[in-house]
Chain A
């Protein structure tokens, strides 16, 4: 048996154990990166709803935005996580923020990301369609650092605004967001015509039980 003097043993323990520990941590980290690559962004089930005033009050971000250019693909096709395994693709819409009705959106322009399956694209008006010039109320949540519609890829995540732009619209913090939205949708803004206001009136009618 090799006899090592006690002071040499102490020296080795003091010097080498921390180095070995650091080495082990690095090896573990590298192994983890190799076996667990960061997941590809994909669509997710709805966590928020906008079917009632209470549900609307829980949506993280609600903003009025003007789509700056036609929404365009922002990724490659990959299998859907929740809608069978059909091919799905990420889309991006550049939106100018006109009013923030709920939540905190400091930017004046934002990108909104969402997923639409190839089978669904353009097949029905229930899927999100954001052409240039469209003014919409967006019901949004954050996914990582990105803004996404609450119903990924579905038109129910947005509400068309027929009443024009409202640059001086005042938000009453005492009111529920649903009331603020109704106010905005039925307040004549810049660029609104009688025809567009009548469209607004008929659109909001869906909020009345008959």
Chain B
């Protein structure tokens, strides 16, 4: 599918939910992608927070 097919806001919001609900390896990747898109990983502490802020 094309870029932004699902909509930026929708994807960001859902990735933030993934960060809250998923297992650590999945949360880390979601956090990395959010950071790449310059969005915070809300509710994340410790290792993932550091990872997301790199």
Enumerate chain A interface residues (CB-CB to B < 8 A): 50-53, 56, 156, 159, 176, 178-179, 181-183, 186, 188, 194, 197-198, 201-202, 204-210
Contact = CB atoms under 8 A, between A and B. Distances in A.
B29 A202 contact: yes
Provide the main secondary structure of the chain A interface: helix
Contact of A178 (B10, B15, B22, B36): B10
B33 to A, nearest CB: 5
A178 B25 contact: no
Contact of A182 (B10, B25, B37): B10
B36 A210 contact: yes
Contact of B6 (A181, A194, A201): A181
Interface centre among B5, B12, B15, B18 (most CB of A within 10 A): B5
B14 A204 contact: yes
B5 A56 contact: yes
B3 A207 contact: yes
Contacts of A209: 3-4, 8, 37
A192 to B, nearest CB: 10
A50 B1 CA distance: 7
B50 interface: no
Contact of A186 (B1, B2, B14, B25): B14
Contacts of B7: 52-53, 176, 178-179, 182, 207
B33 A182 contact: no
Contacts of B30: 201
19 contacts: A51-B2, A52-B5, A53-B10, A156-B1, A156-B2, A178-B10, A182-B6, A182-B10, A182-B14, A188-B22, A202-B29, A202-B33, A204-B11, A204-B15, A206-B5, A207-B7, A207-B10, A208-B4, A208-B12
